[in-house]
Amino acid sequence: MTAKQPGSGNLDIHTDEMRRQAITVSVNWFLWVNILFSLFILGRSYFSTDPLTVVLHRPTHVLEIAMVLVLAASSGVLFILRMAPDPEALWLSQLAKGTVLLLSLAWALAFYVFIASDDMRVIFPLAALLLFTALISLYFDARVLLTFIVPVLLSILLSSVVYDQIPGPLNAVLWILLAALLESGRRMLNSWFLLALRRSEEKRDLIMQLETLASYDPLTGIANRRTFQQQLDNAIQEATLNGGELAMIMVDVDHFKRFNDHYGHQAGDVCLREVANQLSSAVRRQGDCVARLGGEEFAILLPGGGRDAALRVARRLAWRLENQAIAHAASPVRPHVTVSQGVSVWKPEMSGAVLIAQADAALYQAKEKGRNCWQEFDAQPRPD
């Protein structure tokens, strides 16, 4: 098991993902506002002493239909969002975007009826409130925001031209100011949104780097002692519960101090990295753990593997180092880098400390036998 260094992260992908999640949250408030506004319009139509008079063959019930559509769509989508088992599902964000478009078309129809009915008093305040509501809810996604704003404004503009309700200079300035405020507000809110995302991405990268530093050896990139101990505890728990096997190999580079003295510490670091690579290549299963415990001492944990699996890995490691032939002129064992290995096999009710102690004892026996070999605990060493 080798370390996976965290990347800087793709901010664009993260931003798109956050926008997708944000719309399913913020659209809730937007839908409630649409419900309140549609109820207001329906109540105004029924209870006002000055009811709307629709001209040019545009009957009043068109407005009612539009408001009932807003009310039904908003209520239905709110119910779906509340009952959805996965609030971050992709289809929910697509539903929210589609609902925004539907509401926009319904309000565009309503403003058309207002203008056709010569009911101009409600146009600007209602449009301003709706558009600022959309801005607050949808500022983080310009396309979705425009999906709501553009049909409403186009309906007001075209209807005003058709029914000769073109606003005077003062009203025109108000509409221009409204558009300018919407765009400047969107830019400001979106800049804050992107800044928050960048800070979040930086914190996430920092956390990943800290986790890597806490879990992996910075020199070799493999697991460190802390991670190895966690893996060992988990493997023992798993083996105890399921009656599985577990084996460990303690590995020590032979005469590494002489290597450092002869070649220098920089070459020693290169040697340790290469040994770590060979250890990682010697294991075959995904759950196996290779760790550097400190200095030139390494360990291999084989969850689900017994004595035979451990001996195969030990033989494979010795063979790979033999073929790699990292020069070690100061070694009295071989002219290249070799390792001594101690093998221990877990038994039921054995603690991790005992398993490590047995592997250490077997490693000591391997060194006593002349190094460059592997030794089972309480067994005769087997020369390479």
Helix (H/G/I), strand (E/B), else coil: 241: helix
Query: Residue holding tokens 């969107």?
Result: 186
Beta bridge partners of 247: 302, 345
H-type helices in the chain, by residue range?
11-47, 61-83, 90-116, 123-138, 142-162, 169-215, 225-242, 256-263, 265-282, 307-324, 352-368
- N-to-C CA span, the chain: 25
The number of angstroms, rounded, from the C-alpha of 31 to the middle of its chain's C-alpha atoms is 28
Which helix (H) or strand (E) covers residue 248, if one does? strand 246-253
Instruction: Name the nearest CA neighbour of 248 among 146, 363, 143.
Output: 363
Q: Could you give the dihedral angle defined by the CA atoms of residues 80, 85, 91 and 96, in that order, rounded to the nearest 10 degrees?
A: 40
Give the C-alpha separation, 156 to 166, whole Å.
10
Give the C-alpha separation, 94 to 92, whole Å.
5
> At residue 305, what is the residue type?
G
Q: What is the DSSP letter of 53?
A: -
Q: How many CA atoms lie within 13 A of 46 on its CB side?
A: 8
296 is catalytic: yes
DSSP strand pairing (339-345 vs 246-253): antiparallel
Q: What is the DSSP letter of 56?
A: T
Helix (H/G/I), strand (E/B), else coil: 350: coil
Q: Which candidate in 296, 297, 322, 368 is catalytic?
A: 296
Catalytic residues: 296
